[in-house]
């Protein structure tokens, strides 16, 4: 590592150089974090030094208007002249956990894993890195592309498509550098590796904000939506959905079908959950007579043995466990949504432990929704640590399940095994 600063002799105990040209050894990567007006000179120096990769963290380019755009063009031309691949400018940098190298200024280190996350926003990057660390979700790569004068979503999509370390690709994109090329690359991965995209800029206010953020120009959203859908991408409309789907894909087997069972201790919430699931393209199928008879043997007479299963408000953890074991073995059921509301006798933590135990023994996609706050927080923490996706509300669980199931219809058998790493 070689610090470069014309006004310092040492930085963090390391010898500092006046210029990159003063370094006698080969330099593989330059991280440029200086005022924008000095960046062009730094890029030219890197070119003369033979540096082939640069991260330009500095802001003050196309996102600030015409003068910044002109400067960005000069930097781009200089980089192209010397054959330098540039990440940025106006970016957070990148992380490669396989080398490993962290060329960012984020405070949260990334856990090694199989997700590649590409973000046009640095803050969206730091938020995801912090959230993924809290939830133990591993990343193979994180790239903040900023104004993307060289490295962009298309170059990265091509790179990740050929990388066996990558199972899932997440993207926050404010615009597409070349929409046709993106769709071409996405189609190559259709049914092989999920591409989950959060693409804002639907409202007029958001479009104006994007222009001042990264200099982006929004396209026609209806066309973008259709193109992403046709190419097998999973498009989400909120940050929460991006995080929720990441959790589901990272922690559970992909849904093998759309037949979904709901197990709850609250009738009203169960009914609402059914609506949420159906609205997201899933089936809440009637249980077979044989399955209902098995449930009748273990449940109180007042309980419902249909789908959704209403265990009643007095259900202890053991009742949840008994029903879960039976339903999880039924070949007609692909997914199970476990819903819990806190009653006086509810054993939320023990119920969570039973959910984890049964999910581990079966190949179903199992998710949980524990409604409430104070009394369920320990159980929710346990579920997340046990890698059972917990969603704050049934509609969140239904959306995640529905979108991931929809993607599995494109899945190419034996091409890739997308599972947590």
What is the number of alpha carbons within 13 Å of residue 387 lying toward its C-beta? Answer: 16
Same domain, 167 and 185: yes
Tokens read off for 306: 């249909």
Asked if 29 and 96 touch (Cβ cutoff 8 Å), the reply is no
Domain-ending residue, one of 39, 57, 87: 87
* Residue bearing tokens 């709901």: 262
Residue 5 inside a domain? The answer is: no
Q: Report the C-alpha gap between 252 and 405 in whole angstroms.
A: 12
pLDDT tens, position by position, 19-77: 999 999 999 999 999 999 999 999 999 999 999 999 999 999 999 999 999 999 999 99
The residues, any chain, with a CB within 8 Å of residue 382's CB and separated by 6 or more, are 349, 352, 353, 356
Strands (E), 218-275: 234-236, 260-264
Last residue of a domain, which of 251, 279, 309?
A: 251
* Bridge partners, residue 335, by sequence: 260, 365
Inform me whether the pLDDT recorded for 97 exceeds 90.
yes
H or E element at residue 41: helix 39-49
Residue 202: per-residue pLDDT? 72
pLDDT digits (tens, 9 = 90+) for 190-244: 999 999 999 997 766 655 655 555 555 456 888 999 999 999 999 999 999 999 9
Tell whether 271 and 286 lie within a shared domain: yes
In this prediction, residue 210 carries a pLDDT of 53
Q: Is pLDDT of 311 > 90?
A: yes
Instruction: Give burial (CB, 10 Å; 0-12/13-18/19+) of 415.
Output: exposed
The answer on pLDDT for 281 being more than 80 is yes
**Looking at the structure, do residues 171 and 236 belong to the same domain, yes or no?**
yes
Instruction: Tell which of 193, 224, 251 closes a domain.
Output: 251
* 415 falls within a domain: no
* Confidence category of residue 163, pLDDT binned at 50, 70, 90: very high
In angstroms, rounded to a whole number, what is the distance separating the alpha carbons of residues 169 and 161?
9
Per-residue pLDDT reduced to its tens digit, 338-360? 999 999 999 999 999 999 999 99
Domain-embedded: residue 361? yes
Question: Do residues 145 and 175 both lie within one domain?
Answer: yes
pTM: 0.90
416, part of any domain: no
pLDDT tens sequence across 102-131: 999 999 999 999 999 999 999 999 999 999
Q: Quick check: is 237 in a domain? A: yes
Range of the domain at 139: 93-251
- Sequence-distant (6+) residues with CB within 8 A of 140 are 96, 97, 98, 112, 113, 114, 115, 116, 163, 165, 166
pLDDT at 420 over 70: no
Domain count, the chain: 3
* Residue 3 lies inside a defined structural domain of this protein: no
Residue 420 lies in a domain: no
| Average pLDDT for the chain | 94
Question: Would the pLDDT of 421 be above 80?
Answer: no
Read off the CATH number of the domain in which 108 is found: 3.40.50.261
Cα dihedral 282/242/116/250 (nearest 10): -50
Hunting for tokens 């249980």 — which residue is that?
Answer: 287
- Answer yes or no: is 337 within a domain: yes
Smallest Cα–Cα separation from 182: which of 167, 171, 168? 171
Same domain, 346 and 384: yes
């Amino acid at each position: 590592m070689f610090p470069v600063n014309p006004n310092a002799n040492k930085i963090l105990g390391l010898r500092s150089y006046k210029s990159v040209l003063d370094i006698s050894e080969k330099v593989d990567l330059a991280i440029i974090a200086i005022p924008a007006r000095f960046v062009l000179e730094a890029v030219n120096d890197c070119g003369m030094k033979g540096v082939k990769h640069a991260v330009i963290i500095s802001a003050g380019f196309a996102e600030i208007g015409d003068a910044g755009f002109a400067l960005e063009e000069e930097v781009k031309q200089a980089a192209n002249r010397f054959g330098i691949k540039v990440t940025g400018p106006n970016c957070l940098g990148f992380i490669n956990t396989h080398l490993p190298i962290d060329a960012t200024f984020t405070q949260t280190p990334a856990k090694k894993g199989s997700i590649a996350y590409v973000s046009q926003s640095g803050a969206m990057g730091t938020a995801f890195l912090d959230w993924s660390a809290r939830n133990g979700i591993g990343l193979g790569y994180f790239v903040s592309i900023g104004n993307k004068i060289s490295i962009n979503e298309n170059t990265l999509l091509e790179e990740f498509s050929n990388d066996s370390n990558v199972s899932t690709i997440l993207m926050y994109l404010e615009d597409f550098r070349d929409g046709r090329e993106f769709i071409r690359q996405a189609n190559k991965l259709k049914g092989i590796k999920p591409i989950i995209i959060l693409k804002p800029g639907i409202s007029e206010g958001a479009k104006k904000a994007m222009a001042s953020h990264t200099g982006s120009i929004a396209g026609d959203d209806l066309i973008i939506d259709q193109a992403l859908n046709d190419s097998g991408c999973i498009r989400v409309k909120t940050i929460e959905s991006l995080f929720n789907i990441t959790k589901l894909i990272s922690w559970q087997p992909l849904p093998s079908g759309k037949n979904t069972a709901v197990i709850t201790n609250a009738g009203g919430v169960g009914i609402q959950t059914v609506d949420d699931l159906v609205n997201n393209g899933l089936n809440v199928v009637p249980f077979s007579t044989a399955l209902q008879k098995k449930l009748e043997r273990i449940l109180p007479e007042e309980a419902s043995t249909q789908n959704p299963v209403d265990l009643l408000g007095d259900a202890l953890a053991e009742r949840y466990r008994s029903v879960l074991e039976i339903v999880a073995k039924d070949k007609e059921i692909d997914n199970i949504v476990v819903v819990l509301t806190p009653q006086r006798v509810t054993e939320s933590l023990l119920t969570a432990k039973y959910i984890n135990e049964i999910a581990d023994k079966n190949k179903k996609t199992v998710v949980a929704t524990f409604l409430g706050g104070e009394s369920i927080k320990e159980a929710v923490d346990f579920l997340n640590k046990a890698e059972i996706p917990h969603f704050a509300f049934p509609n969140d669980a239904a959306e995640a399940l529905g979108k991931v199931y929809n993607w599995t219809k494109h899945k190419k058998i034996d091409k890739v095994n997308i599972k947590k790493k």
